[in-house]
């Protein structure tokens, strides 16, 4: 009897112990976020709320009408942030936290595509390459494999305040097909008459230099895209000199970031913008300035025979990252910006965004006059200039070289000789990029 009781007691204890273990496992779990993107949700990173974000929202609306089950989240980040996050994420090899679709500037595209060849999802089958402007395909492809869906055209023009021009005794016609020297002269007159600065520049962004040299078919790098081309680059030298002339003419307002840049024009503190067509929405954002703007062809380098009145600045394209949900993301891009003519019409009408999708240019919206710009058919003008853009190879190191040039530009402005400046820049670039 005693034995039995002991056994019984032992059984009860063991059972008891088992049961009390049962509940404890679940406590430590939870708190881990989801990994990467999940299949039904597409995450998109882009910058510029007036342009890229708006365009993507339109695409999202179009797509959602046919695919109500797909959730699309568009996250705005500064371009530098995106670059930094992409570099961190892609180099660490984990795709956690990365989006499905990301916008990358054409200048940088190659550096990403070549540094992380496996991390991008090929889009060769998602759209027809021949439907897009040819100059966009180079930066977005590796060999024959298309990785980027070409988005906005970077075609440049010169936005100018006609009312200030008139106050200075000029008309829009005086601005047609001028050189940068003439541009500076007019600027001086405007500054004198109106007290307004002629243009706004950021000392850390030499976009205007890039615009100038590309108009002459030149770039920071040679044809191979790998060798720095600074010291003996006549176009670059003239661009540097032009830049200094602007500064010396005291017609430049300085900004340090995008919002100040836009604010300088929206507030009427600066009178002209030599930049890419994607600036249109920022200009039109100031509704009180309607009818006071015109867009004229870009000035060309005064002393460079190759220079034309057309260039490109900061176009970008959409890339799909090799993370879960990439098929859905590729399908989304293909169905919207890859083939939807109506969407491009809407982009033009609603945002003023000019795509590089050729079939879209047949649409009505591309031929419609823009009342903000005094009835100018700006899209057609841009389209005309697009055809004239000299093709250059942006290569992989555009911004690495620009970082050097930003410093050297300061030296130059402070009195260093131009040849020395460029020679020093060449030396640094040669040692940095190999």
Partner 1 sequence: MRRFFDRFKYNGLFVKMFIVMVVSIASVAVITTWTTINTSERVFLETFSITNSKVVEQIKSNMDAYNYAIVIASNNVLQSGSIRGFLTEGDGNSLSQMRAYYNMSQQIKRIHSGLDAYDVSIIVNGVNGRSFATDRTIWPISDKALRSHPITDRTLSEPRKLHYLYDDANVSGNPDVAPTIVASKALLDRTTGKVYGSMYFPIREQEFKRFYESFTSLGNDVAVMSGTGMILSSNRSEWIGQPSEQLLNYAKEIEKKGLPYMDAEMMDKSHVILSTYLQSLDLYVVNVIDKEAAIGQLTDTDAIVLTVMIIVAAALIIVFLISRRLTKSLTRLVKQISTISKYEFDHEVTVGGSYETRQLAQAFNSMLAELQVYVRELLETQKGQRNAELEALQQQINPHFLYNTLASVKFMVQQGSKEKAAETINALISLLQNAIGNVSATITLSQELINLKNYVFINHVRYGERIKMNYFVSPDCMGYHVPKLIIQPFIENAFFHGFNQKSEGNIYFMASKDGDSLVCEVADNGDGFDMGGVDGLPLPQTSRRQLFAGIGVKNVHDRIKLLYGEQYGVTIASEPGEGTRVKIRLPLIKG
* Residue-by-residue DSSP string for 53-83: IHHHHHHHHHHHHH-TT-EEEEEE--HHHHH
* CA distances, 214 to each of 11, 44, 150, 421, 423 (Å): 87, 30, 19, 20, 20
Residue 390 has what DSSP assignment? P
Helical residues (DSSP H) of 267-390, grouped into ranges: 280-284, 326-335, 341-346, 378-386
Which of the ranges 63-71, 219-227, 380-388, 405-413 carries the binding residues for partner 1, by CB under 8 A? 405-413
Q: Which is nearer to partner 1, 31 or 68 (CB)?
A: 31
Which one among 35, 248, 327, 430 touches partner 1, defined by CB under 8 A?
248
CB of 9 to partner 1, least distance (A): 10
Burial classification of residue 219, based on how many CB atoms lie within 10 Å of its CB (0-12 exposed, 13-18 middle, 19 or more buried)? buried
Which of the ranges 3-11, 157-165, 214-222, 294-302 carries the binding residues for partner 1, by CB under 8 A? 3-11
Residues 168-197 that bind partner 1 (CB under 8 A): 197
Q: Which is nearer to partner 1, 124 or 410 (CB)?
A: 410
- Chain-centroid distance of CA 283 in Å reads 17
Q: Which is nearer to partner 1, 40 or 256 (CB)?
A: 256
Per the CB < 8 A criterion, the answer to whether 160 and 296 are in contact is yes
**Rounded CA separation 390/371 (Å):** 30
Q: Any contact of residue 20 with partner 1 (CB under 8 A)?
A: yes
Which of the ranges 12-20, 157-165, 280-288, 426-434 carries the binding residues for partner 1, by CB under 8 A? 12-20
Which one among 222, 253, 358, 427 touches partner 1, defined by CB under 8 A?
253
Q: Any contact of residue 105 with partner 1 (CB under 8 A)?
A: no
Q: Any contact of residue 286 with partner 1 (CB under 8 A)?
A: no
Q: Which is nearer to partner 1, 290 or 406 (CB)?
A: 406
Q: Any contact of residue 35 with partner 1 (CB under 8 A)?
A: no
Q: Any contact of residue 91 with partner 1 (CB under 8 A)?
A: no
Phi, psi of 35 (to 5 degrees): -100, 125
**Rounded CA separation 280/355 (Å):** 13
Which one among 251, 329, 343, 353 touches partner 1, defined by CB under 8 A?
251
Question: Under 8 Å CB-to-CB from 15, ≥6 apart: which residues?
Answer: none
Q: Any contact of residue 136 with partner 1 (CB under 8 A)?
A: no
Which of the ranges 74-82, 289-297, 344-352, 353-361 carries the binding residues for partner 1, by CB under 8 A? 74-82
CB of 215 to partner 1, least distance (A): 23
Q: Any contact of residue 430 with partner 1 (CB under 8 A)?
A: no
Which of the ranges 10-18, 102-110, 361-369, 418-426 carries the binding residues for partner 1, by CB under 8 A? 10-18
Per the CB < 8 A criterion, the answer to whether 102 and 329 are in contact is no
Other Cβ atoms closer than 10 A to 416: 14
Q: Any contact of residue 65 with partner 1 (CB under 8 A)?
A: no
Q: Are strands 293-296 and 156-161 parallel, antiparallel or unpaired?
A: antiparallel
Q: Which is nearer to partner 1, 263 or 423 (CB)?
A: 263
Q: Are strands 101-105 and 316-320 parallel, antiparallel or unpaired?
A: antiparallel
* CA distances, 11 to each of 4, 21, 258, 369 (Å): 11, 16, 75, 90
How many positions of this chain bind partner 1 (CB under 8 A)? Answer: 50
Q: Any contact of residue 249 with partner 1 (CB under 8 A)?
A: yes
**Rounded CA separation 323/179 (Å):** 48
Q: Which is nearer to partner 1, 81 or 306 (CB)?
A: 81
* CA distances, 199 to each of 61, 193, 261, 414 (Å): 36, 15, 10, 21
Q: Which is nearer to partner 1, 7 or 387 (CB)?
A: 7
Under the rule (CB under 8 A), what is the footprint of partner 1?
A: 1, 4, 8, 11-12, 15-16, 18-20, 22-24, 26-27, 29-31, 47, 49, 76-78, 80-81, 197, 201-204, 246-260, 263, 406, 410, 413-414
């Amino acid at each position: 009897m005693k034995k039995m009781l002991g056994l019984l007691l032992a059984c009860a204890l063991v059972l008891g112990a088992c049961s009390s273990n049962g509940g404890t496992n679940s406590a430590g779990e939870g708190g881990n976020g989801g990994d990467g993107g999940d299949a039904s949700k597409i995450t998109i990173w882009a910058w510029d709320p007036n342009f890229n974000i708006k365009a993507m929202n339109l695409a999202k609306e179009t797509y959602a009408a046919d695919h109500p089950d797909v959730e699309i989240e568009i996250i705005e980040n500064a371009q530098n942030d995106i670059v930094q996050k992409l570099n961190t994420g892609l180099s660490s090899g984990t795709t956690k936290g990365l989006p499905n679709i990301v916008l990358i500037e054409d200048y940088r595209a190659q550096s990403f595509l070549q540094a992380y060849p496996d991390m991008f999802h090929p889009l060769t089958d998602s759209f027809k390459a021949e439907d897009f402007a040819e100059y966009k395909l180079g930066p977005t492809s590796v060999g024959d494999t298309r990785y980027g869906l070409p988005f906005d055209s970077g075609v440049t023009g010169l936005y100018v305040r006609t009312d200030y021009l008139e106050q200075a005794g000029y008309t829009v016609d005086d601005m047609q097909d001028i050189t940068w020297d003439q541009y500076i002269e007019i600027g001086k007159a405007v500054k004198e008459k109106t007290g307004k600065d002629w243009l706004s520049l950021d000392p850390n962004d030499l976009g205007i230099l890039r615009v100038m040299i590309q108009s002459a078919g030149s770039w920071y790098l040679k044809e191979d895209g790998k060798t720095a081309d600074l010291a003996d680059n006549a176009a670059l030298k003239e661009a540097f000199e032009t830049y200094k002339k602007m500064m010396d003419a005291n017609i430049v307002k300085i900004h340090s970031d995008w919002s100040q840049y836009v604010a300088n024009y929206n507030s009427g503190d600066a009178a002209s913008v030599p930049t890419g067509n994607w600036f249109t929405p920022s200009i039109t954002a100031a509704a009180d300035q309607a009818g006071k703007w015109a867009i004229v062809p870009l000035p060309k380098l005064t002393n460079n025979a190759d220079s034309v009145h057309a260039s490109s600045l900061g176009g970008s394209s959409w890339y799909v990252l090799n993370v879960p949900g990439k098929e859905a993301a590729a399908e989304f891009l293909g169905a919207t910006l890859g083939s939807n003519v109506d969407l491009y019409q809407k982009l033009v009408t609603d945002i003023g965004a000019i795509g590089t999708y050729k079939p879209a240019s047949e649409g009505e919206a591309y031929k419609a006059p823009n009342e903000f710009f005094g009835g100018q058919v700006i899209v057609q003008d841009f389209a005309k200039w697009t055809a004239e853009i000299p093709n250059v190879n942006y290569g992989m190191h555009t911004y690495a070289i620009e970082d050097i040039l930003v410093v050297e530009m300061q030296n130059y402005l402070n009195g260093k000789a131009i040849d020395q400046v460029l020679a020093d820049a060449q030396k640094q670039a040669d040692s940095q990029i190999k």
